[in-house]
Amino acid sequence: MLLGAHVSVAGGLHQAPLSGKRLGCSTIQIFTRNQRQWKARTLTAAEIEGFRSAIQSCGLESIVSHDSYLINLASPNKINLQRSREAFQDEVDRCDLLGISCLIFHPGSHLGSGEKEGLRRVADSLNWILDHRCQSATKLLIETTAGQGTNLGYKFEHLAEILCQIKKSSRMGICLDTCHLFAAGYDLRMVPAYKRTMKQLDDIVGLAQVKAIHLNDSMNELGSRVDRHENIGRGRMGLGAFHLLVNEEQFRDVPMILETPGGEDGYRRDLATLRDLLQPKFKKRQR
């Protein structure tokens, strides 16, 4: 089982793998640029080499990135849409330079133009990006959302509708966020509910499309449509869902990333909780 956390790049990109090693992670997630600014500084050769060397020396098995929160591939505003596409293209380039296998992103917000049109624009944006970066090795993973406001991606049907419009489907996948799923109304807490949700996911999107999972408890109730992360076992989801997920054979080689509160101390507690939930056959890969 690949367990890890979203770690900071403060002090330089090369610090992120060191943070992951310090936490005992086998996988990490990072931002490759300031996620709250449009303009990104170009990566230097020294930064790229330093990051790649740190990954190798720290023995991490998987690295994923999350894109900037400013990007909206569903925007009905032509200027903002093109700006988002170009910024996302830069995110892909940075992942390729750094050797990061997957780029996770929120599908975007339709901003009142309607879900169908919004989903079409997301698919068009992804096709544009894939055409412009046809040699890229980075997989693009659509993240499930809680469904706040006009955000897309809170239904499995949204993911399926986007994916079915992508020409180069082998470059795509999805990222499940447990807090987002729960807030969107997908229950994972007990075996019957977990099995129903997984069957829905498999029937509509396909379990094989799951290439990453964000492990977050939820501060809010099932179906609240509010995205508020909580530490593992301390929120409304409890430990049941996480016990089922970390022992799911289908997800054995899927990176599972924490985005929970509390910094490194919070991550240490949550990672220890998750490891305690692992069945013996899944513990072999843990540090």
Q: Which two tokens stand for residue 266?
A: 């919070």
Q: Rounded to the nearest 5 degrees, what angle is found at the Cα of 144, between the Cα atoms of 243 and 115?
A: 150
Does residue 37 carry a pLDDT above 60? yes
The fraction of the chain above a pLDDT of 70, given in percent, is 98
Q: Annotated catalytic, 259?
A: yes
- Predicted model pTM: 0.96
What's 111's DSSP letter? T
Give the DSSP per-residue string, 113-171.
S-HHHHHHHHHHHHHHHHHHTTT---EEEEEP----TTB--SSHHHHHHHHTT-SSGGG
Does residue 187 carry a pLDDT above 60? yes
Q: Annotated catalytic, 227?
A: yes
Select which of 6, 180, 234, 243 is catalytic. Answer: 180
Q: Annotated catalytic, 180?
A: yes
Select which of 85, 121, 214, 243 is catalytic. Answer: 214
Amino acid identity, position 281: K
Question: Predicted confidence band at 280 (pLDDT cuts at 50, 70, 90)?
Answer: confident
> What span, in angstroms and rounded, lies between the C-alpha atoms of 4 and 20?
7
What confidence tens digit (pLDDT) does each residue in 193-241 have? 999 999 999 999 999 999 999 999 999 999 999 999 999 999 999 999 9
Beta bridge partners of 67: none
Q: Where are the domains of the chain?
A: 3-285
Pairing of the two strands 27-30 and 229-230: unpaired
Which residue, chain included where needed, has tokens 């069957």? 199
Does residue 281 carry a pLDDT above 70? no
What confidence tens digit (pLDDT) does each residue in 161-174 have? 999 999 999 999 99
Considering only CA atoms, give the Rg of the chain.
18
Which residue, chain included where needed, has tokens 């290439």? 211
What backbone phi and psi angles, to 5 degrees, belong to 4? -165, -160
Select which of 47, 91, 143, 248 is catalytic. Answer: 143
Specify whether domain 3-285 bears CATH 3.20.20.150. Answer: yes
Question: SS3 for 50?
Answer: helix
Beta bridge partners of 3: 256
Which residue, chain included where needed, has tokens 């499995």? 156
What confidence tens digit (pLDDT) does each residue in 13-32 have? 999 999 999 999 999 999 99
Q: Annotated catalytic, 177?
A: yes
